[in-house]
Amino acid sequence: MSHTAYIGIGSNLESPAENCLKAVERLNTHPNLTLIARSSLYQSEPFGITDQDWFVNSVVQLTTSLSPEELLRACLSIEQAMGRTRTKKWGPRIIDLDILFYDDLILKQEGLEIPHSGIAERSFVLAPMNEIAAEFIHPKLKKSIQTLLMEIPNPQQVNRLSSDG
């Protein structure tokens, strides 16, 4: 059975735009993932810990036969292969892959929450996702991505770089 998933991609170390594009390529070449859409790259101010370089972010839409847990393992494997080391929450990172949505699933378990928590407060997720899936309805909040983006309480500054990085 095929499922639709949205993955948030972010980087702010070394060559962030290049890192994001490499992650998209790795997702696209995974045998159980099919890339359907990719947003442009966006530059955004840091969230949480603000004393660090700005991030480059993107969102991809995939279809997959993987379960949510298997998809998480695939994302973590790509992060590890690209040199990700987890030091501190919201800190600098070479690559970050987050499962934002998986069909209209609502799931909360150790190490995995779908939809990803905090989406409604994160311009750097909503802006790129709005580009490829504006009408997608958040399964918990029952609002479209476009509506969530317009209603964001304290938007971070997010600038579209280009469709190619």
Neighbour tally for 129: CB within 10 Å: 28
Cα separation, 115 vs 102, in Å, equals 7
The residue to which tokens 């970050």 are assigned: 96
CATH number for the domain harbouring residue 121 = 3.30.70.560
Per-residue pLDDT tens digits of the chain, which is 165 residues long: 899 999 999 999 999 999 999 999 999 999 999 999 999 999 999 877 788 899 999 999 999 999 999 999 999 999 999 988 766 666 688 999 999 999 999 999 999 999 999 899 999 999 999 999 999 999 999 999 999 999 998 888 899 996 654
Model-level pTM? 0.94
Give the chain's domain count.
1
Cα separation, 95 vs 84, in Å, equals 6
Give the residue numbers marked as catalytic.
Answer: 84, 93, 96, 98
pLDDT of residue 82: 96
pLDDT of residue 6: 98
Domain of residue 30, residue span: 3-162
